[in-house]
């Protein structure tokens, strides 16, 4: 039940994140001054926190979607399998999100 609710919430997070991506693309097309302003906002600690949430939503939705694909072909309906794959989704989400941020920022401030 919790994974289903989180899947829906992550979908909403993706929609909000796509609005931010659209804002960034519009800024890139509008000129250097506007782009630099948006870049500075998204590079601040609050901007990075928002990007972390967007990235986490993206990876959770992806991993849980793969889990649903296995369900669609008839695998993983046992209660123990559901619990195990739920934990796999959560661990994969954290690892992929933190890995992306580590590669993207490389420890830079």
Residue with tokens 């661990």: 91
Is residue 108 scored above 90 in pLDDT? no
CATH assignment of the domain containing 34: 1.20.1300.10
Is residue 76 a contact partner of residue 85, using CB atoms and an 8 Å limit? yes
Is residue 109 scored above 80 in pLDDT? no
- Give 42-64 pLDDT, tens digit per residue: 999 999 999 999 999 999 999 99
Q: How many domains does the chain have?
A: 1
Q: What is the residue range of 60's domain?
A: 2-105
Token representation of residue 37: 């302003």
pLDDT at 76: 87
Is residue 14 a contact partner of residue 54, using CB atoms and an 8 Å limit? yes
């Amino acid at each position: 039940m919790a994974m289903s609710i989180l899947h829906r919430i992550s979908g909403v997070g993706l929609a909000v994140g796509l609005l931010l991506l659209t804002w960034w693309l519009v800024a890139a097309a509008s000129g250097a001054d506007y782009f630099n302003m948006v870049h500075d906002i998204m590079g601040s600690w609050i901007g990075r926190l928002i990007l972390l949430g967007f990235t986490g939503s993206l990876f959770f939705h992806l991993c849980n979607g793969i889990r649903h694909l296995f369900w669609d072909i008839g695998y993983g309906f046992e209660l123990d399998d559901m619990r195990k794959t739920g934990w796999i989704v959560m661990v994969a989400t954290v690892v992929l999100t933190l890995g992306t941020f580590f590669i993207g920022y490389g420890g830079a401030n």
